[in-house]
Amino acid sequence: MKLAERIARLEIESAFDVLVKARALEATGRSVVHLEIGEPDFPTPPHIVDAAKLALDQGWTRYGPTQGLPELREAIAAYISRTRNVSVSERNVCVVPGAKPILFFSMLALLEPGDEVVYPDPGFPIYRSMIQYLGAKPVPVPLLESRGFSFDLNILRDRLSSRTRLLILNSPQNPTGGVIPGEDLREIAALVRDRDLMVLSDEIYSRIYYTAEAPASIATLPGMLEKTILLDGFSKTYSMTGWRLGYGVMPEWLVEGVNKLMVNSNSCAASFTQRAALAALTGPQIAVEQMVEQFRNRRDVFCRALNTIPGFRCTPPGGAFYAFANVEQTGIPSKDLADRLLERAGVACLNGGSFGEHGEGYIRFSFANSLENLLEAIRRMKEMR
Ligand code: PLP
């Protein structure tokens, strides 16, 4: 037997690869500062953990509705309606295990072989992986450092064609931390409003931002709600990466397709984690605010320090918890530099090129780590020979 041909079209996420390499180094006694993986280093807030424990004691241990528990879907619909200034109902919400399945399921539900998908480069590697897996055509649009890692809108316009079925937006963005300005979103909406396509708006970092205003969602703009799949979840906002819970908000006709895929794969997301997620959304938000304040402080200190390393240049990001440093002036290809930083300096980080061709020349550092460890990483990088 051998693997089906389509499996070869799936790619991996380099963060998990580098983590394995780093762990192997640690097993030989080396010390590694982990700046590779994209997850908050804070514990899940205690009131959310307590809600999960209570739910287990109360017997929330059985299958639930495929689309998600009605009370959670209602809370999500109210939350999205409030924060995105739109009007959605629980009928528009699909609760799934982690946000990733929303990417997977919406693309499975929408794309035919040969359809084109326009997506950001550098970008979350799963986008291209899924597009290729489905036999659709990946159409990358470069993000420009000079525009705060937003699109060049002229290039975006050129890349849209009569075969474009999906446009993927991600703001705040992984790996650059870029936030799409409201003005750009309006122009993007004007470009796609009359086209026969959907927009997948990946807003998983929606609450982690350092700009004066919350990042805008394209769903808010006139005529866009019915064309948008809004992806968000609990992993990053509530430090719940291991709980696996996310959701999509989308038009009802698409919910039907996603529900079918859920029934065929997961049946439903875990019931007690959904009860905990309800507590996350409806309970106190102070832990989120405190986490973001800590990220802001780390961002300021870490980016300033990165700029003191010869050959490194880093503009503080507007959101997420990634510093995307331009390392072209070091004269070392970013892949080699990332390898050297791990092997020689004990600093695990990601080659920007692993996020797409236009990420070459950059290194992604996650600053979801203590200030002490971040400064230790800087010290090690400065001393590296
Ligand atoms: N979208 C982006 C841009 C991400 O960076 C991630 C996680 O790293 C996800 C989606 C997936 O989130 P989850 O862990 O909830 O599946």
pLDDT of 111 strictly over 90: yes
Exposed e or buried b per residue across 317-333, where buried means at least 16 C-beta atoms within 10 angstroms of its C-beta:
bbbbbbbbbbbeebebe
Neighbours of 104 (CB within 10 A): 19
Could you give the CA distance from residue 369 to residue 360 in angstroms, rounded to a whole number? 24
**Cβ–ligand 1 contact at 239 (below 6 Å):** no
Give the distance (Å) from ligand 1 centre to CA of residue 204. Answer: 6
* Most distant pair of Cα atoms in the chain: their distance: 60
Q: pLDDT tens digits, residue range 71-91?
A: 999 999 999 999 999 999 999
Give the distance (Å) from ligand 1 centre to CA of residue 385. Answer: 35
As given in the structure block, the two tokens for residue 154 are 């002229």
CA distance to 61, 159, 318, per residue, from 149 (Å): 44, 17, 10
**Cβ–ligand 1 contact at 99 (below 6 Å):** yes
> Residue 13: what pLDDT?
83
Could you give the CA distance from residue 82 to residue 331 in angstroms, rounded to a whole number? 48
Pocket test for ligand 1, best of 95, 143, 235, 243 (most atoms within 8 A of CB): 235
Whose tokens are 């849209």? That residue is 160
Give the distance (Å) from ligand 1 centre to CA of residue 310. Answer: 32
DSSP-assigned beta bridge partners for residue 364: 324, 350
Q: pLDDT tens digits, residue range 181-199?
A: 999 999 999 999 999 999 9
Question: What's phi and psi for 180, nearest 5 deg?
Answer: -75, 120
Arithmetic mean of pLDDT, 3-11: 94
Give the distance (Å) from ligand 1 centre to CA of residue 226. Answer: 23
**Cβ–ligand 1 contact at 244 (below 6 Å):** no
As given in the structure block, the two tokens for residue 164 are 């474009």
pLDDT of 209 strictly over 90: yes
Give the distance (Å) from ligand 1 centre to CA of residue 338. Answer: 22
Could you give the CA distance from residue 347 to residue 385 in angstroms, rounded to a whole number? 13
Q: pLDDT tens digits, residue range 213-257?
A: 999 999 999 999 999 999 999 999 999 999 999 999 999 999 999
pLDDT confidence band for 15 (50 / 70 / 90): confident
> Residue 354: what pLDDT?
95
**Cβ–ligand 1 contact at 366 (below 6 Å):** no
pTM for the full model? Answer: 0.97
Q: Pick from 6, 54, 13: which is nearest to 36 by CA?
A: 13
> Residue 385: what pLDDT?
78
Q: Lowest-pLDDT range, 8-17, 30-39, 211-220?
A: 8-17
**Cβ–ligand 1 contact at 204 (below 6 Å):** yes
* CA 182-258-80 angle, 5° bins: 35
Q: Where are the beta strands (DSSP E) in the chain?
A: 33-34, 93-96, 116-121, 137-144, 150-151, 164-170, 198-202, 228-233, 246-249, 322-326, 347-348, 350-351, 362-366
Q: Pick from 89, 150, 125: which is nearest to 354 by CA?
A: 125
**Cβ–ligand 1 contact at 346 (below 6 Å):** no
Give residue limits of the domains in the chain.
Answer: 5-43+286-383, 46-282
**Cβ–ligand 1 contact at 124 (below 6 Å):** yes
Give the distance (Å) from ligand 1 centre to CA of residue 38. Answer: 8
pLDDT of 3 strictly over 90: yes
Arithmetic mean of pLDDT, 272-291: 98
Chain-centroid distance of CA 163 in Å reads 26
Give percent of the chain with pLDDT exceeding 70.
Answer: 100
Neighbours of 257 (CB within 10 A): 16
pLDDT confidence band for 16 (50 / 70 / 90): confident
Give the distance (Å) from ligand 1 centre to CA of residue 6. Answer: 23
> Residue 12: what pLDDT?
85
> H-helix or E-strand containing 212?
none
Q: pLDDT tens digits, residue range 42-58?
A: 999 999 999 999 999 99
Give the distance (Å) from ligand 1 centre to CA of residue 99. Answer: 6
The CATH class of the 46-282 domain is alpha beta
Question: What's phi and psi for 132, nearest 5 deg?
Answer: -65, -40
The CATH class of the 5-43+286-383 domain is alpha beta
> Residue 14: what pLDDT?
81
> Residue 152: what pLDDT?
93
Contacts of 109 (CB under 8 A, 6+ apart): 254, 257, 258, 261
Atom of ligand 1 nearest to the CA of 103: 10
Q: Pick from 236, 227, 181, 176: which is nearest to 203 by CA?
A: 236
Arithmetic mean of pLDDT, 94-114: 97
**Cβ–ligand 1 contact at 319 (below 6 Å):** no
**Cβ–ligand 1 contact at 175 (below 6 Å):** no
pLDDT of 363 strictly over 90: yes
The answer to whether 177 and 355 are in contact (CB under 8 A) is no
